[in-house]
């Protein structure tokens, strides 16, 4: 039964679990597999669904993502949980070379309705081999859709849209957001469209485009700037591929100034692509150079104090805004 116009306060991770539950109830072809899925939030699903639809996998990412691709080709709709985003490297052959290309290589005869869930484990003292934010890698692979929600509602709505999509979708979560709570719709058909950004705060002086877990910092920076008479507009990208150019370009046309907050590395980042798009398509609107607030091109240290200095913060975003003066 669909519950309309009702909400419940859920954390980001709880919202993801509820999205999985609702989609598994709606469609018996939806299955969930991954590493330690009974540990990372999905415990209650084992009380409702049998083992045929819930599979704890070995620590063999390339293998079980390959199983997910094969299952999708036979008509199932797998959600494959890689847990940690750095593990995407191990599964990249199946994601990029198989899932992303099979529709093209078969002239549209095959589709791969696969969702790969993975979380960026930065700012958590997991060190260099577990703390990457590799979404730019998958942005460069035609055939994939890539989403990076920053709120519980968007995590639920985007995951549900991804499950219903007939093409492979990689969903990057953020461990720093897992415990963040808000009111989330209980409407089982409340979807967030893939490919549509959201203006989280309207403003007229500067546009701050936020990617993934940068959103809380961008909103806080906007509050700090408002105290100094600078009216910032905050755009939450939500979807990396396809990129919502229209929302970004409309905001820049209004403000004339652009800051992009992105916790991936500065070289070849999502911020780099957005900067290129705006430079090519809205150069005449710009009143100053585009500013990127990104992680430097270094590995993530184990030391927590050093690690936190790498990533976006309200103070860094405010400093970028003030640099326009």
Per-residue pLDDT reduced to its tens digit, 140-186 = 999 999 999 999 999 999 999 999 999 999 999 999 999 999 999 99
Asked whether residue 318 carries a pLDDT value surpassing 90, the answer given is yes
CA 146 to chain centroid: 7
Cβ contact 312:263 at 8 Å: yes
Give the chain as a 3 state SS string.
CCCCCCEEEEEHHHHHHHHHHHHHHHCCCEEEEECCCCCCCCCCHHHHCCCCCEEECCCCHHHHHHHHHHHHHCCCEEEEEEEEHHHHHHHHHHHHHHHCCHHHHCCCCCCCCCEEEEEECCCCCCCCCCCCCCHHHHHCCCCCEEECCCCHHHHHHHHHHHHHCCCCEEEEEECCCCCCEEEEECCCCCCCCCCCCEEEECCCCEEEEECHHHHHHHHHHHHHHHCCCCCEEEEECCEEECCCHHHHHHHHHHHCCEEEEEEEECCCCHHHHHHHHHHHHCHHHCCCCCEEEEECCCCCCCCHHHHHCCCCCHHHHHHHHHCCC
pTM strictly above 0.85: yes
Residues 6+ apart with CB under 8 A from 221: 208, 232, 314, 315, 317, 318, 321
Mean pLDDT of the chain: 94
State the catalytic residues: 130
Domains of the chain: 8-185 (3.40.50.970), 198-322 (3.40.50.920)
Instruction: Please tell me the predicted confidence (pLDDT) of residue 125.
Output: 86
Instruction: Please tell me the predicted confidence (pLDDT) of residue 47.
Output: 86
Per-residue pLDDT reduced to its tens digit, 203-232 = 999 999 999 999 999 999 999 999 999 999
């Amino acid at each position: 039964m669909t519950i309309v116009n009702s909400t419940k306060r859920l954390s980001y991770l709880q919202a993801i679990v509820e999205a999985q539950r609702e989609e598994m109830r709606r469609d018996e072809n939806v299955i969930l597999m991954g590493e330690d899925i009974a540990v990372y939030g999905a415990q209650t699903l084992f009380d409702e669904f049998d083992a045929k639809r819930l599979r704890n996998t070995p620590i063999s990412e390339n293998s079980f993502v390959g199983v997910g691709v094969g299952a999708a080709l036979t008509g199932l709709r797998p959600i494959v949980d890689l847990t940690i985003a750095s593990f995407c490297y191990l599964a990249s052959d199946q994601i990029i070379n198989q899932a992303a290309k099979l529709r093209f290589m078969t002239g549209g005869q095959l589709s791969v309705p696969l969702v790969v869930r993975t979380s960026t484990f930065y700012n958590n003292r997991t060190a260099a081999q577990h703390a990457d934010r590799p979404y730019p890698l998958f942005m460069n692979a035609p055939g994939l859709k890539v989403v990076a929600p920053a709120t519980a509602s968007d995590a639920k709505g985007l995951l549900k849209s991804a499950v219903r999509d007939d093409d492979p979708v990689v969903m990057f979560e953020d461990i720093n957001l897992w415990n963040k709570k808000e009111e989330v719709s209980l409407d089982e058909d409340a979807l967030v469209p893939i490919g549509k950004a959201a203006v989280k705060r309207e403003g007229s002086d500067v546009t701050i485009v936020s990617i993934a877990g940068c959103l809380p910092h961008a909103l806080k920076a906007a509050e700090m700037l408002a105290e100094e008479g600078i009216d910032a507009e905050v755009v939450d990208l939500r979807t990396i591929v396809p990129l919502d150019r229209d929302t970004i370009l409309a905001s820049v046309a209004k403000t004339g100034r652009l800051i992009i907050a992105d916790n991936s590395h500065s070289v070849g980042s999502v911020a780099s692509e957005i900067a290129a798009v705006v430079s090519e398509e809205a150069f005449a609107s710009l009143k100053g150079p585009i500013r990127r607030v990104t992680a430097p091109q270094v590995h993530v240290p184990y030391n927590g104090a050093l690690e936190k200095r790498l990533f976006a913060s309200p103070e860094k975003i405010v400093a970028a805004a003030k640099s326009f003066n």
